[in-house]
Structure 1
Amino acid sequence: MRPSGAAAVLVAAVLGLTSCTSSRPHETASIEWGDCAGVTDVHAANLPAQRSARLEFRCGAVDVDLDPAHPEAGTLAVQLIRVHQSGGAEKEPLLLIAGGPGQSGVEYAVVAAGLLPEALLDRFDLIGFDPRGVGHSQQIRCGHKDSDPPGLPDLLTPAGYSRAADTMRARTAECATALGSKAALFSTTATAVDIDRIRSALDRPALTYLGWSYGAKLGAEYARLYPDKVRAAVLDAPSNPRTTWIQTVERQVAGFEDAFDEFAAWCATQERCSALGATRGFVTGLVRRAEKSPIPSGRPGDDEPTYGTDVLDAVVGALYDDARWPDLADGLAEATAGDSGTLRDLADAARSGDDAADAQLVINCNDSAPGPTETEIKAAGARFAQRYPLFGVWLSWFLFGCTFWEPDRHTLQPPVAATEHPILVIGTRHDPATPYSGAVDMAASLGTAQLLTWEGQGHGAVGRNECITRLVTDYLASLAVPSRNTRCPA
């Protein structure tokens, strides 16, 4: 049982506490911006030609203490990218904080340069960074030896539980061994301290930033540690800061069930879905059939069969963005004829973030409280199987969380931030990965935050919804806070 790619981006760490701010002041140092060759291929993002011609991409790095409490441990170079539009002098920086944990912020900034409105690029230079342990900032690699056969784990059986437990125990042990004494130094709190080092190197008294998904949680932690260093902050699609590990996993499973219902309702109105009948029943049956007899691919040169886990990877990957729903519907229809090519394409796209899995595990484990126990895992697994018929069993292996993680932890505490201006928290009503309730609770926890709601589908709203993007642009540019309880229609 390997952690599926689509599923591997679902679970964010939940709790939080210890601060590890540096015990010694850093000298102020500017960033030497240079060519991005060897760091990222900006052409691979396929930015709109007209916009791409006006953009300049420059890369640099900031040295941070690997362990602020022990400077003798050395430093780590955090990789940055600066996206500048229309020549001229550098503009005020807008720091982009990527998701994950484990997503490259350098790559995120390149993609965001094609999604964010011209008004933001006219006002700001985009700054992206690879957090410690990610991408070009000393990427965590644990060297897993994954030889488990494909198939759905069933925690309700002794064999299924043992198989899942053995897999998670081995994964966490491999990462702890690979990192050795450095294992505890990769956490959300440590990265928040690094962000302040970036702020200092950018020579800014306070930061303007936009965090997405896990990046929203990281942005909240920065605001908790440095509330006086926040000019404006947007936290899009945050996870709930006050739930236990099991509660977080359950809310996410429920979020995917809800998002699938939205897809099924849409599919019922589409001619391309006519061969499926009842969409939920069709997918449930397809997963079961594919587990027993994998579906061949109809693509030339592709003889890799598609298992039930692959079908669910494809479904989950498409639920992240309703623009992918037509492809998912076509792939399901093709599967009725024994061709899994489109579903495999969707599943492979969802698994494109597999390189981030090790960093995600380590950072999540360092952030989270110990547990859960075997009794709690088995009870939750039984509940998942009963309440969440499509995704419950498939995602139940996440219940192990970091049960077997042995290095010291820096458990996150719920964020409270007395910033000068309100932080803007954005929740999408039918977000499958970080359900809407997480945004509600994040705004309440921060205290001075304002909640902005999109009545739409998918993971994240900025750059996907015109109403949300316009309000965010006004807020970031001029600190214009939307009215309380503002909602943007789907």
Structure 2
Amino acid sequence: MQVIRVHRSGGAATKDPLLLIAGGPGQSGVDYAVVAAGLLPESVLDRFDLVGFDPRGVGRTQPIRCEHADTGTPTFPDLLTDAGYARAAGLMRGITNECAAALGSKAALFSTTATAVDIDRIRAALGQSTLTYLGWSYGAKLGAEYARLYPDKVRAAVLDAPTAPGTTWIETVERQIAGFESAFDQFTAWCATQDSCDRFRDVRKFVGELVRKAQESPIPSRRPADDVPTYGVDVVDAVVASLYDDARWPDLADGLREAADGDSGTLRELADAGRGGDSEDALLVINCNDSAPGPSEGEIRAAGARFAKEFPLFGVWGSWQLFGCAFWQPTRHTLQPPVAATAHPIIVVGTRHDPATPYGGAVAMAAILGNAELLTWEGQGHTAVGRNDCVNRHVADYLASLTVPPHNTRCAA
């Protein structure tokens, strides 16, 4: 397993380790530890060395790589027709089978529970009787599993932007799609105040029409080095990637304005930046090993029809996710509810307008853990630690001295 320890000069003469648990599953924690050194407050860097790791199957730790066949032109699934469902199911079955074949008997070795056991090995290797750690997104889910398995080994834990434990696959997909719809409403409200959006006062209508037109006739890029056209699904991917952080909203507004003039260069850059590459394989395998079997064909088709009606921009796009792990056959290690009797309260952080892991997930995680306190940021985008001074201050105090924020603390946007 690849591990990195980031030490900044200054502060305490001897620094304890702060384990950082990156998102995904599929994000490199080694790479993110370097990024986090520029995001976390100086008081944390003065008190702790940052320790990042690539979980099994990720980055530099025997990465999961599946050979995928070319699926042709990017498109949306039409789950409302037999032919459309058959095509979408065939593509997802093929991707799933390719990963299962690539891993063979090793497929069952990659799961959140297995990685939580690895984390305890890291704790022992660091010479720590108890562990202090901070997890973002999927890393919060993994951190909760560690606390469930080893509650007596947790000194302090911060879980930022977790998903809601115990939800079905379809419920999880629906909450995320609803989260992106809500975040897009926030973007449109912001856009109405910007001169860069004066070409499309009804942003939702404009984007919907742009997606439809681009699917029928892909938008070229006017950049000399880019000859890949942008389809409707790419437009949605660009919007989704931009909703993760409101700092990207100006770029999204510029990209939409350029696309109106027939240039998709900025939108393609945004879409490509949001795609996971090889990490998509790790995400599939680990999520499927964590999940109960299903959903069934009837459940997928019913949910797809409902999403198309209820979520006008992201419903059809999100229907791909409904297949999830329906075709995954290797042995699974379904996650248990993360009840954790830790010596000190765990801090769960939730962002009020988080599109990827909606705020309700943080509320549910704090409640299920049992010994936890919820810290809320009334902001935009995915995750809060490292992005908001108020959240950073409470997290730094907690990590250093186990000072728990007052009950129901909320940080302004």
Would you call these one fold, judging by a TM-score over 0.5? yes
Count of residue pairs the alignment pairs up? 412
1:149 to 64, 69, 73: 73
Cα distance in 2 for partners of 1:146, 1:364 equals 23
Q: The residue matched to 2:17 in structure 1 has which SS?
A: strand
1:451 maps to a residue whose letter is L
Q: The residue matched to 1:354 in structure 2 has which SS?
A: coil
Pair 1:365 & 2:299 matched: no
Report the equivalent of 1:230: 154
Report the equivalent of 1:162: 86
TM-score, structure 1 normalization: 0.83
Pair 1:421 & 2:338 matched: no
Q: Is the 8 A contact 2:116 2:143 kept in 1?
A: yes
Cα distance in 1 for partners of 2:18, 2:83 equals 50
CA drift of 1:90 comes to 4.7
Cα distance in 1 for partners of 2:96, 2:220 equals 34
Pair 1:257 & 2:150 matched: no
1:194-253 deviation per Cα after TM superposition (whole angstroms, max 9, x unaligned) = 000000000001000000000000000000000000000000000010210000000000
Identity %: 76
Report the equivalent of 1:479: 402
Report the equivalent of 1:270: 194
2:360 to 437, 442, 458: 437
1:271 maps to a residue whose letter is D
1:181 to 105, 113, 124: 105
Report the equivalent of 1:341: 265
1:389 to 305, 312, 317: 312
Cα distance in 2 for partners of 1:320, 1:459 equals 5
CA drift of 1:148 comes to 2.6
Q: Is the 8 A contact 1:381 1:396 kept in 2?
A: yes
CA drift of 1:174 comes to 1.1
Q: Is the 8 A contact 1:90 1:125 kept in 2?
A: no
Cα distance in 2 for partners of 1:359, 1:346 equals 22
Cα distance in 2 for partners of 1:152, 1:277 equals 26
Cα distance in 2 for partners of 1:161, 1:90 equals 59
CA drift of 1:301 comes to 2.6
The correspondence of residues 214-363 of structure 1 with structure 2, limited to 5 A, is 214-351=138-275, 353-363=276-286
Q: Is the 8 A contact 2:71 2:91 kept in 1?
A: no
1:95 to 14, 19, 24: 19
CA drift of 1:354 comes to 1.4
Cα distance in 2 for partners of 1:110, 1:301 equals 30
Which of 192-201 and 298-307 deviates more? 298-307
Cα distance in 2 for partners of 1:134, 1:89 equals 33
Cα distance in 1 for partners of 2:322, 2:246 equals 28
Q: Is the 8 A contact 1:96 1:211 kept in 2?
A: yes
Q: Is the 8 A contact 1:155 1:397 kept in 2?
A: no
Report the equivalent of 2:40: 116
Q: Is the 8 A contact 2:377 2:391 kept in 1?
A: yes
CA drift of 1:163 comes to 1.2
The correspondence of residues 60-99 of structure 1 with structure 2, limited to 5 A, is 78-86=1-9, 90-99=14-23
CA drift of 1:89 comes to 5.4
CA drift of 1:146 comes to 2.5
Report the equivalent of 1:409: 332
Cα distance in 2 for partners of 1:406, 1:89 equals 51
CA drift of 1:147 comes to 3.0
Q: The residue matched to 1:462 in structure 2 has which SS?
A: coil
For structure 1, the residue ranges without an aligned partner over 5 or more in a row are 1-77
TM-score, structure 2 normalization: 0.98
Post-superposition, which runs of at least 4 consecutive aligned residues in structure 1 deviate over 4 A? 87-90
Q: Is the 8 A contact 1:130 1:136 kept in 2?
A: yes
Cα distance in 2 for partners of 1:90, 1:134 equals 30
CA drift of 1:345 comes to 1.1
Cα distance in 2 for partners of 1:301, 1:110 equals 30
